[in-house]
Amino acid sequence: MRFLSTRGQTEPMGFTEAVATGLAPDGGLLVPESMPRLTQADLDAWSRLDYRDLTAAVFGCFATDLSQEVIRGCVERAYSGFSHPEVAHVRRLADHLHVLELFHGPTLAFKDFALCLLGEFYELQQARTGVPVNVLGATSGDTGAAAIHGLLGRKGANIFILYPNGGVSPLQERQMTCTGAPNVFPLSIDGSFDDAQKIVKDIFGDLPFRHRHNLSAVNSINLARILAQVVYYFYAWFRLDDAARARGVEFVVPTGNFGNVLAGWWAQQMGLPVAGFTVATNQNDILHRFFEEGVYEVGAVSKSLAPSMDIQIASNFERYLYYMLDGDTDRVRRLMADFRATGRLAFPAEKEQGMRATRTDDAAIIDRIRTVHAEYGYAVDPHTACGFTGLRPDRTSVVLSTAHPAKFPDALERALGHIPTHPSLERLKALDPVTHRLPADEAAVKAFIVEHLK
> What's the residue count for the chain?
454
d(CA 189, CA 85): 38
- Whether the Cβ atoms of residue 183 and residue 159 lie closer than 8 Å to each other: yes
Burial class (CB in 10 A: 0-12, 13-18, 19+), 103: buried
- Distance, CA of 202 to chain centre: 20
d(CA 147, CA 107): 10
Nearest alpha-carbon partner for 290 in 226, 350, 332, 336: 350
d(CA 39, CA 219): 32
User: Which member of 111, 198, 201, 407 is catalytic?
Assistant: 111
Strands 97-101 and 344-346: unpaired
Let me know if 201 is a catalytic residue.
Answer: no
- Fill in the amino acid letter for 345: L
Q: Give all strands (DSSP E) within 375-452, no chain letters.
A: 396-401, 436-439
- Return the half-sphere exposure (C-beta side, CA atoms, 13 A cut-off) of residue 247: 18
Render 351-391 in DSSP notation, one character per residue.
Answer: GGG-EEEEE--HHHHHHHHHHHHHHHS----HHHHHTTSS-
Q: Is 208 helix (H, G, I), strand (E, B) or coil?
A: helix
Q: What angle do CA 147, 227, 41 make, to 5 degrees?
A: 145
Q: Catalytic residue numbers?
A: 111
